[in-house]
A = this chain, B = another copy of it.
């Protein structure tokens, strides 16, 4: 079985590496690193590299879309591209090699036509016939139909396939309401979308809305997994936190995508999250940490197996509930 990832707003990732960035200065740099980017593509890359069957579904258009498609073909990651009339956006990364800092400039992207969105959904529905899990990852271009994430989740559920959604803002709330089996915001995205500063309270709010579970990265403080169902006393079936023994230094770009890949690799049709919670959280945290150790988004360091063993998993204290 196969993890199908959908990337509704892909980007041509261009990365320039300067020995030292001088703001306002002129720099001689080697040719840009060029990659077919976007969060769902990174998820598929990680899965493919880890030997998990994955298939990346996305759109491409214009001259940047041709470069994007060429790079994706070279990558060897199984994929399917729906051609669209709008050009694939660019994302520019400037690496300051002296500081180890990366500044990222993400174009917002242009909105495909309604007919092109319908083609993407139809293609997803076809791919879901042979899928074990659906992953929908990343932003939507401005103007995209609000319902696109819900439609994809519904398509997965129509095939009996669980759906993992990694997005932010109102789309995150809509994914929860659509009954996504797992959503993966980071702490800021969770607080932004729910208006609740405490990630545990935010996760419970998304589960109340309809999400099966919430995987929330807390940066150096580890990763949280809260999953339903919520019992009558207000406690969720799963409330766990994983932490590394010591913090890691590296490149956090793509760490969230590696976490999603780890989680998706553990899920399967008909398996509730509560039955695989520890394995899911351990693998998501280990792959995420291993992504920090790897230089490029979509790659993870082979140390992940060892990291998974060294994780500390513990139940999280739940907020007091004052239900009648």
A144 CB to closest chain B CB (Å) equals 15
Q: How many copies does the complex hold?
A: 2
Whether A27 touches B103, Cβ cut-off 8 Å, given contacts A14-B92, A94-B92, is yes
B residues less than 8 Å from A28 (CB atoms): 106, 108
On chain B, the residues within 8 Å of A92 by CB distance are 14, 16, 32, 92, 94
C-beta contact mask, A14-36 vs B, less than 8 Å → 1, else 0? 10101001111111111110000
We find that the number of chain A residues with CB closer than 8 angstroms to chain B is 36
Task: Type the 1/0 row for A82-111, where 1 means its CB is closer than 8 Å to any CB of B.
Answer: 000001011010101001011111111010
1/0 per residue A41-83: CB within 8 Å of B? 0000000000000000000000110110010000000000000
| Interface pair B22/A110, CB less than 8 Å apart | no
B21 x A103 contact (CB < 8 A)? yes
Q: Which of B21, B70, B99, B107 contacts A31 (CB 8 A)?
A: B107
CB contact between A30 and one of B22, B70, B96, B108 (< 8 Å): that residue: B108
How many Å from the CB of A186 to the closest CB on chain B?
12
A99 vs chain B, min Cβ distance (A): 7
Q: How far is the CA of A94 from the CA of B16 in the complex (A)?
A: 12
Residue pair B106, A29 in contact (C-beta under 8 Å): yes
The answer to whether A21 and B18 touch across the interface, beta carbons within 8 angstroms, is no
Most buried by B among A92, A99, A102: A92
A82 vs B307: C-alpha distance in the bound complex, in angstroms? 54
- Flag if B105 contacts A16 (CB, 8 Å): yes
Question: When the two chains form the complex, which single residue of B26, B99, B105 contacts A24, counting CB atoms closer than 8 Å?
Answer: B99
For the complex, give the distance between the alpha carbons of A23 and B105 in Å.
11
Query: Do the beta carbons of B90 and A25 come within 8 Å of each other?
Result: no
Question: Which residues of the partner chain B approach A104 to less than 8 Å between Cβ atoms?
Answer: 25-27
Complex contact B103–A22 (CB within 8 A): yes
| Given known A89-B31, A90-B14, contact A23–B25 (CB-CB < 8 A) | no
**Contact partners of A30 in chain B: CB under 8 A:** 107-108
Contacts of A110 in B (CB 8 A): 31
| Chain A contacts to B: CB under 8 angstroms | 14, 16, 18, 21-32, 63-64, 66-67, 70, 87, 89-90, 92, 94, 96, 99, 101-108, 110
A-B contact pairs, 10 of them (CB 8 A): A21-B103, A22-B103, A23-B103, A24-B102, A24-B103, A27-B105, A27-B106, A31-B107, A63-B70, A92-B94
